[in-house]
Structures are given as C-alpha cells and as structure tokens.
Amino acid sequence: MSLVRFPVQVIGTDAVRVLKSKNVWLDHLDVSSDQDHGKDYYDGLIDITHACDYVTVSYVHFHNHEKTSLVGHSDTNGSEDTGHLTVTFAYNFWENLNSRGPSLRFGTSHIYNNYYDNMVDCINIRKGAKALVENNVFAGSSAKGLYSVDGTGSAQASGNDFGSASDSIDSTTLSMEYKYSLKDAGEVASYVQSNAGATL
C-alpha cells in the first residue's frame, strides 16, 4: 500500500478537502472556526468527497464550528460514490460543534473511540451508508448521537456511552478487514482529550 501524504486542498469555505484520493491519513490536526457568522458562512472543517477510499482521520481536535465533517458531498452523486468512501474516524475530539460528526453518504465508515462534548448532531448516516460505531463517548449537551436523517443509513453499534444523546438508527452487520484495538468507553474521554490535536 502506498501512502499519499498531502492530497488535500484548501478550497472555498472548507478548511481541508480531500477528493478523488486513496490511502490518505489526516492525523493530529487542530481545526476550528467560530460560530458567530451562522451555519452557512463556512463549510466543512474536513470534507471527504468524490469516491475517496481508505481515508483515516485520527487524533483530530474539531471545535467551535457548525458543519464539521462531510463524507460524500451530494445526495445525487451515488453513481460515483457508491462502493467507495471508505473512511475511518478514530480518537478524535469533537467539541462545541453543531453537526456532521461526521455526516456520511453512500460509503462505509468505521467510527471508534471518539469523544463528543457538546455537539448537537453527531453521527448522521444517510443515503444507504453504513458504519461500524464502537466505544465512542457522548458527553455534555450532545443531542443526536447516532441517527439517519433520511432513514436509509444503518450501523453496527456496540460499546458506546451515549449519555443523554439519542441512538436511533437501523442496525446492520459490519466488520473491518484490518486489525485494530479498542479502548474501553470509560477510558476514552481522558485519553482523547490528552492526545488529540496538534500535540506532536
């Protein structure tokens, strides 16, 4: 497997946009804006679109933003995206955010050991996307933990601590082909807050 180190672009209103790329690793970033301009002033902090495959987003501190991370840019792009958009989100700190933690279309994602603190709409799986959602923690005033805005997404969810956040999505069976280890949900808050962001 080859690793393409910087197939990212700063375009328009996205902080980081990854498109038409494979084997991408975004690690130990700190990405934010502000929430003073309304939800449509900025777009995504990290958006992954146009049939990307094998993208990992790890140890990122997302904070103080409206529309955080989008996987799959359009409801009408299924012909390009279906069978692609394989993305992993691991050990990320999602803090003081409105939505898209992440929002997924068409693809397959693995979302594990993330810490959500005060996020309105967290994991939204739609347009037939599927996700394996494991050992994440939802804290503070986080509201919608795991859901499908259009009722077509599904997840295999286990080991999550939803706190007061909702979990309202159809279940599926999903496994990953790579090896990984999980932290218990009780360890996630401390570990992620200590290690996510520009700490290297």
**Taking 60 as the threshold, does the pLDDT of residue 55 lie above it?**
yes
The model's pTM is 0.93
Mean pLDDT, residues 42-62: 96
Active site residues: 100
Share of the chain above pLDDT 90, in %: 86
Residue 106 placed within a domain? yes
Residue 179 placed within a domain? yes
* Measured distance CA(73)–CA(163) in Å, rounded: 30
**Taking 50 as the threshold, does the pLDDT of residue 6 lie above it?**
no
Strands (E), the chain: 8-9, 16-19, 22-27, 30-32, 46-49, 53-58, 61-67, 69-71, 86-90, 93-99, 103-105, 108-112, 115-119, 121-126, 130-134, 137-139, 144-147, 154-158, 166-168, 170-171
**CATH number reported for the structural domain that contains residue 131 in this entry:** 2.160.20.10
Look over the chain and give the mean of its residue pLDDT values, rounded to a whole number: 93
Residue 2 placed within a domain? no
What size, in residues, is the chain? 200
Residue 41 placed within a domain? yes
Domain range spanning residue 128?
8-195
Residue 160 placed within a domain? yes
Residue 44 placed within a domain? yes
68: confidence class by pLDDT, cuts 50, 70, 90: very high
How many domains is the chain partitioned into structurally?
1
Residue 1 placed within a domain? no
Q: Which residue has the tokens 């280890």?
A: 181
Residue 15 placed within a domain? yes
Q: Which residues of 53-75 are buried (b: 16+ CB within 10 A; e: fewer)?
A: bbbbbbbbbbbebbbbbbbbbee
- The reported pLDDT for the residue numbered 12 is 57
